[in-house]
């Protein structure tokens, strides 16, 4: 059977083999420390779970509008105004089955051959594959450790062509934890406006910024850039609701309408019960975020300090999200080799950097307990001293 060229262009996830192997080792009774988690290790707050139970008991288990229930859109509208200084009416908002689904729909609505989408590298591994599935071409701007993994205005200008449709901006970033400040965003916005290219602003980690840093949405920097920006967010990371699958986008009404058409013929509505839970998450009390963030910051500081004491491991302090992107070039191994060796020989699971755009790095999540972080780093340190 011949598969489509579109599907054949998509790379299989290089992280799946490591993940499957770690799970099998655990199943076989081995004590594996897993630094691969892409989700908070905290439970969904009780008031959010209670709202879902209430929805079930009240029979809110049927179809809803494909683009989301009106009260959730209204809550998202208020959230965007309260937190981000952005004004969007319900017709400019669509709710989807997670932020990943939102992003996929965006590229399906916007892109075709020979469009190009600019992606800063390192990147979240699904961005390029989503772009390719929309028959467009991902174009990468390589960033460096010493520049905090940020693109420069000059590099962005050089990369834009007449085929450029959009740039993806992920701040805070997965996998690097990079956070762009207001001045840096203004420079990107000026270029996007002058070249009339769209900005897909993935802000899913916005609540997880540490120290004195603050989240700034590029869409808040003026009406011209707002008109060109598609703001993507959701409840997965901020409220530890990864399994509930609720994401959303705010942007141009025409694009929202197009995505609604796509969604109505693919997934239909996001789960009704999950929408009620998301409504409570966004509208209800927010104390769980600050307590979770405080714990993440403590773990981050400990992990970075320990890693920088391990020979041949170098890492900068991430400003947001819950990952460190550690440079392992001096070990003499690439990211696939060292992740396999650490799993086989030290029972520690890391995520190779290659599928994120850098084979000289590995990603470690600190969305796991401090005790497990300490145990895993002890094992890495011991392995490095014995093998390198």
Least confident of 28-37, 76-85, 230-239, 272-281: 28-37
The 10s digit of each residue's pLDDT in 180-198 is 999 999 999 999 999 999 9
Q: How many angstroms separate the CA atoms of 206 and 84, rounded?
A: 10
CA dihedral 209, 169, 157, 166 (to 10 degrees): -160
Q: How many angstroms separate the CA atoms of 241 and 45, rounded?
A: 9
Task: Give the mean pLDDT of 196-201.
Answer: 98
Q: How many angstroms separate the CA atoms of 122 and 366, rounded?
A: 19
- Is a pLDDT exceeding 90 seen at residue 18? no
- Is a pLDDT exceeding 80 seen at residue 15? no
- Is a pLDDT exceeding 90 seen at residue 7? no
Angle among Cα 117, 120, 125 to the nearest 5 degrees reads: 85
What is the model's pLDDT at position 6? 86
What is the model's pLDDT at position 88? 98
Q: Report which of 177, 167, 197, 200 is spatially closest to residue 122, judged by C-alpha positions.
A: 177
């Amino acid at each position: 059977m011949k598969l489509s060229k579109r599907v054949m262009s998509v790379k299989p996830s290089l992280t799946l083999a490591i993940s499957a192997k770690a799970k099998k080792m655990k199943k076989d009774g081995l004590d594996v420390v897993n630094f691969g988690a892409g989700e908070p290790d905290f439970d969904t707050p009780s008031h959010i779970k209670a709202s879902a139970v209430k929805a079930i008991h009240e029979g809110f288990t049927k179809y809803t509008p494909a683009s989301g229930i009106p009260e959730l859109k209204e809550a998202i509208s208020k959230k965007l105004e309260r937190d981000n200084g952005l004004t969007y009416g319900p017709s400019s908002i669509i709710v989807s089955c997670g932020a990943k689904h939102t992003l996929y729909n965006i590229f399906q609505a916007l892109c075709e051959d020979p469009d190009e989408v600019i992606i800063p590298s390192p990147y979240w591994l699904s961005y390029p594959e989503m772009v390719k599935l929309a028959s467009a071409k991902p174009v990468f701007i390589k960033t460096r450790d010493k520049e905090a993994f940020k693109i420069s205005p000059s590099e962005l200008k050089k990369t834009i062509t007449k085929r450029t449709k959009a740039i993806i901006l992920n701040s805070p970033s997965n996998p690097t934890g990079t956070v762009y400040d207001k001045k840096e965003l203004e420079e990107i916005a000026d270029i996007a406006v002058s070249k009339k290219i769209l900005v897909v602003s993935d802000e899913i980690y916005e609540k997880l910024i540490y120290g004195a840093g603050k989240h700034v949405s590029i869409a808040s920097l003026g009406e011209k850039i707002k008109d060109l920006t598609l703001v993507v967010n959701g409840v997965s990371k901020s409220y530890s609701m990864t399994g509930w699958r609720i994401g959303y986008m705010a942007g141009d009404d025409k694009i929202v309408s197009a995505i609604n058409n796509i969604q109505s013929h693919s997934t239909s509505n996001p789960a009704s019960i999950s929408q009620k839970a998301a409504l409570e998450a966004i509208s209800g009390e927010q104390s769980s975020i600050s307590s979770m963030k405080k714990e993440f910051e403590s773990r981050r500081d400990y992990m970075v300090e320990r890693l920088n004491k391990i020979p041949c491991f170098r890492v900068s302090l991430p400003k947001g999200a819950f990952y460190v992107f550690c440079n392992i070039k001096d070990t003499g191994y690439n990211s696939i080799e060292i992740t396999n060796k650490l799993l086989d020989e030290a029972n520690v699971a890391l995520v190779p950097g290659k599928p994120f755009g850098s084979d000289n790095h590995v990603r470690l999540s600190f969305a796991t307990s401090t005790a497990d972080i300490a145990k895993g780093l002890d094992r890495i340190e011991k392995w490095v001293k014995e093998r390198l």
